[in-house]
Every structure is written in structure tokens, then in C-alpha cells.
Amino acid sequence: MKKRIAILGATGSIGDSALSVIAKHPDRYQVVGLSGFSRLEKLLKLCQTFLPKYVCIPSDKVDRFQDLLHQANLTCEILSGSQGLDALASLDDVDMVVASIVGSAGLSSTLSAVKAGKTVLLANKEALVMAGELMIQEAVRSGAVLLPLDSEHNAIFQCLPTDVQQNRQAIHDPKKGIKQLWLTASGGAFLDKSYQDMQNASIAQAVKHPNWPMGQKISVDSSTMMNKGLELIEAGYLFGMSVDNIKVVIHPQSIIHSMVEYVDGSWLAQLGIPNMQTPIAHALAYPERIESGVAKLDLFSLSNLTFLPPDLQKFHCLTLAYQAMQAGSYACIALNASNEVSVAAFLANKIRLTDIADINEAVLNKINQQTIGSLDDILAMDQLARQLANGFVANFVKKN
Ligand code: NAD
Ligand code: MG
């Protein structure tokens, strides 16, 4: 039986990588649904290639897309808006959902897939940062399997014992001997640059990642190292580890994708050339292995693998993530929301790259501790932090 797949965010960078792995294995996978947001021509091409039964687009684009489908002689069922995404993620004829929408826009559909008990291949880290506890609870209730696509989390998953992969509580069993998780970070575009260089960075400089071609938002997050901060929180929820047991190490070559340290002095690492098709192929086939189409790692061409501690002053966003994780889920939600607002302001040329950390810190300083229980609590905190961040953005625009 072929695995039936829906890809949420099919027109993005993760969507591209997922579809290229899937296209190599037509005997194993069938694309049942695709979603897109602004690139309708690209979505149409994907429909022509993969012939999905369902396609989901924003509500105001339905008429136009209907025309495009008609002209191309295609008969996909069109779903629309946030409700359409939720429906696509939970359809009976879908086994696996690739959650690859960027930012909080992906929360509802990712949660919908988890509630429906799907196998969820999770790239949309912001959804987990916002609703990690709820997502894990719902997965336990529905039997959904959450498989990380983020290369670091996928690497850690691969370095854990099989029974821990299948039951995350077992990570704390002393017999497993798991001491710490090590997240590797490339250090991003400004690793060897000064704070002043970051302050004066253009948008083009900030979105140019040295090792990974990715969407704009995650590329800016990599420049500020907020990406590693979000991944720290993501790892905490995915693996049930506290902030004290997750370390970040800069490894500029991005060959080791992350590591697990054991009490006997062993370290297990997952290596490979930096290409998202590897973690995607791993998660698609898990627990089997399939070809990903990624070039072979040539050990003899590697001259150096280096490691250094992160500069927590230059990359203040990473410090803020440590602090938010210590404070609790309310602060993680606020940090994520504020970061989405400030990154969008940077990409709109309103603020400087270094203002992102300052705005995020100002928002965290403004919010009070709260217990987060329900989705409503999450959304209320998200809204509050967005309002505050928008206010600070306006001040920064005036200052610059
Ligand atoms: P991208 O910008 O290339 O693609 C984003 C996708 O989300 C697109 O398909 C777009 O249509 C869709 N989208 C955007 N806004 C939307 C909205 N409001 N409603 C519905 N759909 C919307 O981003 P990406 O680089 O593919 O990243 C996607 C997610 O995967 C992010 O959470 C990112 O952090 C994570 N991730 C990406 C990579 C990578 O290599 N690109 C690696 C690890 C994790
Ligand atoms: Mg990553």
C-alpha cells in the first residue's frame, strides 16, 4: 500500500525537498494534497506533476486558481483558507502530513494533523514552540507519530535508542544513559562578522545562508541565531528535555547535524552533507531507509570539522530563547510571536537586523508570567506579544 501524503506549504523550500524525495519513489508514496499561499503558478505546476486529489489555497484566490486548473484540464478539489488547511491535514485518505508552512500560520493545521492521529513530519518549528505541550498531549491521545524534519532534531532522533524513539518518556530512564543533547549550529551569515556588521546588514546579506538554501524567515532567524533558539525550545518539547540538558555548539561546516552524549563517555552523531532531503527521506521511510538523492559525503574532501561556543552577546536572540525556556511556555509563545513581527519588519526594510533582538527582549520584559493550558491561552499570548512587538517596531522605525 502506498503512503498517502499531504504537504502543507508545498511551494516552499521544504516542500521542494519533500517533493523531490517523493518523486524518486512513486512505488511508495502518493501525493494526495498540496497547499500553497502566494505562488499559484508554482502550485499549478506541482498539481500537473503530482496530480493531487486536493489542493488548498487562500480563500481570495479560489476563483483564479479554479480558472488555472480548468485551463490545465485538471480536476483537483479546492479547499481554502485556514479551515481548508485543517481539513486537508485530517482527511481520511491521508496517512502522512508534511507540516512545512512557515510560522504561526502552520499551527492550526499541524495540530489538526496531530489530533487526527496522522504521521506528522514536522518542519514547522514555530508550531511546536507555540504549542509544544498541547501537541505532545494530543499526539499521545490520538496515537499520532511526530517525526522531526528539522535536521538537528532528526539527527538527535536518529542517535537515540529505538525504544526512546518510540516512547519519549524513556529518555529519562537511567538505564538508557542519556546525558545531554547537543544541537549543532552553523553560526549563520554573521559568524565571523562584528556586531556593527550585523547592525548594517542588508536584507540580501541576512538571507544568504552559508550552507543551507532556505525560506526567507528561517534564513533571517539563522543570521540572528534565533533559529537555534527556536530549535532549543523545539528540542525541549520533542524529546522531553529541560533547558539544562540541551547544549548548543557552533560547527560552521554543518556536517555533524547534532549529537547525543551518553553517561559512559560515548557521543553519537549523525553526519551528512547539508541537504534537507536526507532528514526528509529518513522521516518518510522510518523505520526503513530509502534513497534521498543526496550526493555522497566524501570524508576525504573534508579538511576540518571545527566546534566553538556561541557568542551569546552578539547573538542575543539565543540568550533570549534560553531565558524564555527557563521562564515557561508563555514566554516561548511571546518570543516566537515577537520574532515573527520583528523579522517581518526587517524584511520590509523598517528596522535593522540587530533591532530584532532588542524588540524581542523588550516584549519579553513587558509580559507577565502566566499558566498556559488551552489553545485559547496560546492564541491570546501570541496576540498580546504581537501587539507589543508592533508598538516597539514603530519606535525603532522612528529611531533609525
Ligand atoms: P518557505 O518560505 O520557503 O515556504 C513556506 C511555505 O509556507 C510556502 O509553501 C508558503 O506558501 C506557505 N505559507 C506561508 N505563509 C502562509 C500562510 N499565511 N498560510 C498558509 N501557508 C503559508 O519556508 P521553508 O524554508 O520551507 O520553511 C518552512 C518551515 O520549515 C519553517 O517553519 C522553517 O523554520 C522550517 N524549516 C525549514 C528548513 C529549510 O531548510 N528550509 C529547515 C528546517 C526547518
Ligand atoms: Mg535546523
The reported pLDDT for the residue numbered 398 is 59
Whole-number Å distance, alpha carbon 228 to ligand 1 midpoint, is: 16
Per-residue pLDDT 10s for the chain (400 aa) are: 999 999 999 999 999 999 999 999 999 999 999 999 999 999 999 999 999 999 999 999 999 999 999 999 999 999 999 999 999 999 999 999 999 999 999 999 999 999 999 999 999 999 999 999 999 999 999 999 999 999 999 999 999 999 999 999 999 999 999 999 999 999 999 999 999 999 999 999 999 988 888 999 999 999 999 999 999 999 999 999 999 999 999 999 999 999 999 999 999 999 999 999 999 999 999 999 999 999 999 999 998 999 999 999 999 999 999 999 999 999 999 999 999 999 999 999 999 999 999 999 999 999 999 999 999 999 999 999 999 999 999 988 756 6
Range of the domain at 144: 3-148
Task: Report residue 325: phi and psi, to 5°.
Answer: -65, -40
User: From the CB of 150, is ligand 1 less than 6 Å away?
Assistant: yes
Residues 186 and 270 in one domain: yes
Q: Residue 190's domain is classified under what CATH number?
A: 1.10.1740.10
Strand 178-185, strand 246-250: pairing: parallel
Residue 270 lies in a domain: yes
Residues 220 and 100 in one domain: no
Residue whose C-alpha cell reads 490520538 in the numeric block: 142
For atom 32 of ligand 1, which residue has the closest CA? Answer: 124
Please tell me whether residue 7 adopts helix, strand or coil conformation.
Answer: strand
Domain stops at, among 122, 148, 174:
148
User: From the CB of 42, is ligand 1 less than 6 Å away?
Assistant: no
Distance of CA 281 to the CA centre of its chain: 16
User: Of ligand 1's atoms, which has the minimum distance to the CA of residue 14?
Assistant: 26
Strand 178-185, strand 256-262: pairing: antiparallel
Q: Is 291 annotated as a binding residue?
A: no
- Burial (0-12, 13-18, 19+ Cβ within 10 Å), 64: exposed
The reported pLDDT for the residue numbered 400 is 63
Whole-number Å distance, alpha carbon 153 to ligand 2 midpoint, is: 7
Residues 242 and 122 in one domain: no
Residues 140 and 180 in one domain: no
Q: Is 24 annotated as a binding residue?
A: no
The DSSP element (H or E) to which 183 belongs, if any, is: strand 178-185
Residue 153 lies in a domain: no
User: From the CB of 13, is ligand 1 less than 6 Å away?
Assistant: yes
Distance CA(259)–CA(56), nearest Å, equals: 37
Q: Is 222 annotated as a binding residue?
A: yes
The reported pLDDT for the residue numbered 85 is 98
Whole-number Å distance, alpha carbon 270 to ligand 2 midpoint, is: 13
Domains of the chain: total: 2
Q: Is 186 annotated as a binding residue?
A: yes
3-class SS shares of the chain: helix, strand, coil, % to 5: 55, 15, 30
Residues 344 and 388 in one domain: yes
Q: Give pTM, 2 decimals.
A: 0.98
Whole-number Å distance, alpha carbon 17 to ligand 2 midpoint, is: 14
Q: Is 125 annotated as a binding residue?
A: yes
Residue 293 lies in a domain: no
Residue 268 lies in a domain: yes
Residues 365 and 388 in one domain: yes
User: From the CB of 129, is ligand 1 less than 6 Å away?
Assistant: no
Whole-number Å distance, alpha carbon 152 to ligand 2 midpoint, is: 5
For atom 20 of ligand 1, which residue has the closest CA? Answer: 37
Whole-number Å distance, alpha carbon 126 to ligand 1 midpoint, is: 10
Residues 317 and 383 in one domain: yes
User: Of ligand 1's atoms, which has the minimum distance to the CA of residue 103?
Assistant: 32
Residues 203 and 268 in one domain: yes
Residues 96 and 237 in one domain: no
Residues 143 and 60 in one domain: yes
Distance CA(373)–CA(354), nearest Å, equals: 33
Q: Which residues surround the ion ligand 2 when the cut-off is CB under 5 Å?
A: 150-152
- Burial (0-12, 13-18, 19+ Cβ within 10 Å), 375: middle
Please tell me whether residue 309 adopts helix, strand or coil conformation.
Answer: coil
